[in-house]
Amino acid sequence: MPDSPVFEDLDPRPSLLMGPGPVNVHPRVLRAMSMPMLGQFDPQFTQYMDETMALVRRIFRTENQWSFLINGTARAGIEAALSSLITPGDTVLVPIFGRFGHLLTEIAGRCGGTVVALETDWGTVFPPQVIGAAVEEHKPQLVAMVHGDTSTTMAQPLDEIGPICRAHDALLFVDTTATIGGMPFEVDAWQIDIASAGLQKCLSGPPGSAPITFNARVVDRLKHRKHVEAGIQPPGFEPGDGPRIQSNYFDLPMLMDYWSEARLNHHTESTSMLYAARESLRVVLEQGLETVWARHRHVSQGLRAGLEAMGLSLYGDPQYRMDNVTGVYIPESVAGDDVRTAMLEDFGIEIGTSFGPLHGKIWRIGTMGYVCRRQSVLSCLAALDVTLRRYGYDAPPGAGVTAAIEVLG
């Protein structure tokens, strides 16, 4: 039998990733991922786990003891939160203003929740009183929503939602995958009970680890569903009085035992991803969250000035735009996917398309994390200027880059 092929060495071409994530990984994070393996109970490794918990607390701006990593992409964090918190039959209110709100209904439904979906037009967000009225009417056990929905590039103000939920004894879960490290997000000050994220956007890490944090209100609910695998139960263990969480991998009480001093074995922590998460968080926190948020806002302003100077129109309600990704209408005369392909092939620059009703209507240009720099914006605008002209849309030559330089210096 002929030898089966083992293919060429990996040789991905370097690209500038200016879509809505993943983005280019910070070199320090890549370096961290090549560090030697350690055993999962090696004291040096458990110290790294504890340090990572401290860093996760700081990125979420919380004092929550339970702040750690879920192994898996950002939706693993969402799935851990929802599958651990939703007891079949619970009412879950999901305000939807884009694709990722729909993802929450999908996961909540699979967990057996009775989902009440509240929808608004894409390109806008919810006034808090609309969510307040729905909480009052449906009396959900859980409200689950997205902070920044990359599909529409809109960010939902959250500071009034937490107090509304608290007043009605509902827990509030927030998916902050797209905003963490890119715009203000305050777990404790906004009274968010549980939040999860991913590394691959403003934290400049690879996809594959989901930071999560939750407070004592959540722990109070979880304790009714506490269960420990038969092979590792401590003597005299009494399970909780509620139904067992259907997922083993995403069982938060078991994960708490693993991430606590008990170090009760669960999965094998993904060593290289823990190194990546720890380094991603260090890179952001060393700069200071306020500085990093301000940089995202400023660089986006430069990009937006450039796009408008090219005669392009920005998408969505200006008051609620995310600070780290920009939606821009595709001019009617050009095929959006042809332009994206040419940007990638000719310039090595990736920009994003969108989903559902926005597919073919807007591009999404990210200025996230390691990519959030003046140079990326100028390169992207210059490439877009040339590419658009090639496809028949005549932007005033050089106007985009010139306008961006006026903002960014």
Ligand X SMILES: Cc1ncc(COP(=O)(O)O)c(C=O)c1O
Contact positions vs ligand X (CB under 6 A): 21, 73-75, 100, 146, 149-150, 175, 177-178, 198, 207
Tell the smallest beta-carbon distance from residue 146 to ligand X (Å). 5
CB nearer ligand X, residue 197 or residue 395? 197
Return the number of other C-beta atoms located less than 10 Å from residue 329's C-beta.
15
**SS (HEC) of 94-151:** EEECCHHHHHHHHHHHHCCCEEEEEECCCCCCCCHHHHHHHHHHHCCCEEEEECEECC
Min. distance of Cβ 41 from ligand X in angstroms?
Answer: 28
Cα separation, 315 vs 221, in Å, equals 40
CB closer to ligand X, 202 vs 408: 202
169: amino acid identity, one letter = D
**Looking at this protein, which amino acid is placed at residue 210?**
A
CB of 311 to ligand X, least distance (A): 29
Which residue, 21 or 327, has its beta carbon nearer to ligand X?
A: 21
Helices in 205-334 by DSSP H: which ranges? 216-222, 252-259, 271-287, 289-309
Q: Which is nearer to ligand X, 306 or 327 (CB)?
A: 327
State the minimum distance, in angstroms, from the CB of residue 78 to ligand X: 7
State the minimum distance, in angstroms, from the CB of residue 362 to ligand X: 15
Q: Which is closer to ligand X, CB of 21 or CB of 302?
A: 21
74-85 and 99-110 helices, crossing angle to 10°: 40
Least separation in angstroms between residue 199's CB and ligand X is 9
DSSP secondary structure letters along 257-275: HHHSTT----S---HHHHH
DSSP state of 318: G
Q: Which long-range contacts (CB under 8 A, 24 or more apart) does 39-48 make?
A: 40/265, 40/268, 40/269, 40/271, 41/263, 45/269, 45/271, 45/274, 46/263, 48/274, 48/275, 48/278
**Which of residues 178 and 283 has its CB atom nearest to ligand X in the complex?**
178
Residue 121 Cβ vs ligand X, minimum distance, rounded to whole Å: 18
**Closer residue to ligand X in complex, CB, 175/251:** 175
Three-class SS state of 350? strand
Whichever of 90 and 175 has its CB closer to ligand X, that residue is 175
CB of 17 to ligand X, least distance (A): 13
Q: Residue 191 to residues 51, 62, 74, 80, 292: CA-CA distances in angstroms?
A: 24, 10, 21, 20, 23
